[in-house]
Amino acid sequence: MAMPVSDPGRTRVVVTGLGAVSPLGPDLVSTWEAVQSTRPCVEPIPEAWEAFWKPKSRFWAPLPKEWIQCPLLAPLEPKQLDPVSILALESARQACSGGAPAGRGGVFVGTGSGGGASRFENHLNHLFPQKEFLPGRRGGRFNPFCIAMGMPNSPAAMISIKLSIEGPCRTFSSSCASGTVAIGQAAQAIRSGEVEWAVAGGAEYLVDPDGTQFHGFDVASTLTRIPTREECNRPFDAGRSGFLFAAGGAAMLRLESERSARERGAAILATLDGVAENCDAYSPMAPAPTGERIQQCALEALADAGLLATDVDCINAHGTGTEANDRIEAAMLERVFGRGPKVTTTKALTGHLIGAGGALEAVFCVQGLLDQIVPGMPNLVDPIADLDFVLRTQASEHRNVLKLSFGFGGHNVALVFTKAGTP
């Protein structure tokens, strides 16, 4: 068992802003209302995709129709950007409402695919210019901005450009752990004094004209194959068969040093006290079967926060719904924490947003500490482990939340958020 090693003299990192665009809603307010109601998002996949292959998975979590807008953009700018950059910018705008802190700021954004949608779109326009090649649509103009649109750093760059943040602007690509890694790296930059504050989170947009990105996950048998809409998304349940693919989304946190926040009188929403990151070094797609590295990552984050496993009140697990991930993660949680903390995974409500997933879940951790509630998992009927799973969103007096994220390639990251005002 790792012992607490937190340095009481170090710079404390606090959260002073949140923003989100998700399948549950176009902003943080509507998204959080859906979470509070334990209202998941599940819809049939577009029929047009089935012209190209016979999907094994029939459902996804689409974005709301009104999402693609951001008041920071001029009328023509959306045509020059991949949707992932618009999602990132809008969630950053929400997180930074009320103005920027003084001092040197930075941008830290994670994404799994970056502007992949634009790369696929323009590839089709390159192959089939002005010819009908998809049901109901014609080939389009090859976009002269396609290279910039497709670059993985574009979401971070647009935040920096539109919010005039001139410090370090960094992109992290660690598959499904990308957004969580970005948040942890931003916290470390604040602790070290490299920046006074940061916009940090993740963004993803996985919709392309023929469903190629969905097809990639589907053919790998990582997506849910349960044929009923109401029951298809069931992390940690014995009847699970894969994760619910989410179209995309973005979530950002404004982080800053506690000194900066107090000097400007900003409301502190929570503190980010623990950060840890490692790698399984095992497989490009599968988690290491022993779970030793994810256990080490969790314990190192707790030690960084000055906590023991017995101090943890709540865990927002990675919990995708795949057979291997849930089995290995649940076994680790049962081994280390038992029935002590409440356990949830908000992928049960949102689906899996890949690189943006951990960032959105981090936002939920902070919002849950503020409102003292824990999000529920409505389809968990037959749990695979003896843990205190939360089935319906419920009131909960908790001081801290451990957030876990894992990604293809063996990326593991853990964060510990603490209720504001906790010593």
Cα dihedral sign for 240, 242, 248, 254? positive
Give me the half-sphere count of Cα atoms (radius 13 Å) on the Cβ side of residue 119: 14
Dist. CA 324–CA 406, nearest whole Å: 12
Dist. CA 285–CA 146, nearest whole Å: 29
Rounded (10°) CA dihedral 3, 182, 248, 92: 120
Q: What φ, ψ does residue 202 adopt, rounded to 5°? A: -145, 155
Tokens of 362: 């981090």
Q: For residue 385, give Cα distances in angstroms to 25, 212, 332, 336, 345.
A: 31, 35, 10, 12, 14
75: Cβ–Cβ under 8 A, 6 or more apart, which residues?
none
pLDDT at 74: 87
Q: What is the pTM of this model?
A: 0.94
Does the domain at 13-419 match CATH 3.30.420.40? Answer given as no
pLDDT of 162-189, one tens digit each?
999 999 999 999 999 999 999 999 999 9
Alpha helix positions (H), 7-108: 28-36, 83-95
Tokens of 244: 């619910």
- Residues 293 and 303: beta-carbon distance below 8 Å: no
pLDDT at 218: 95
pLDDT at 259: 96
Angle between helices 28-36 and 357-371 (to 10 degrees): 70
415 pairs with which residues across the strands? 275, 403
Dist. CA 360–CA 114, nearest whole Å: 16
Tokens of 320: 């995708």
- Residues 333 and 388: beta-carbon distance below 8 Å: no
Tokens of 187: 């916290």
15: Cβ–Cβ under 8 A, 6 or more apart, which residues?
253, 254, 255, 268, 269, 270, 271, 272, 366, 417
Biggest CA pair distance of the chain: 65
- Residues 269 and 16: beta-carbon distance below 8 Å: yes
pLDDT by residue for the chain (423 residues), tens only, comes to 444 555 667 899 999 999 999 999 999 999 999 999 999 999 999 998 888 889 999 999 999 987 777 888 888 888 888 999 999 999 999 999 987 888 999 999 999 987 667 666 766 666 666 555 555 555 566 677 677 777 889 999 999 999 999 999 999 999 999 999 999 999 999 999 999 999 999 999 998 878 889 999 999 999 999 999 999 999 999 999 999 999 999 999 999 999 999 999 999 999 999 999 999 999 999 999 999 999 999 999 999 999 999 999 999 999 999 999 999 999 999 999 999 999 999 999 999 999 999 999 999 999 999 999 999 999 999 999 999 999 999 999 999 999 999 999 999 999 999 999 998
pLDDT at 129: 61
Q: Whose CA is closest to 208, among 360, 351, 60? A: 60
Residue ranges of domains in the chain? 13-419
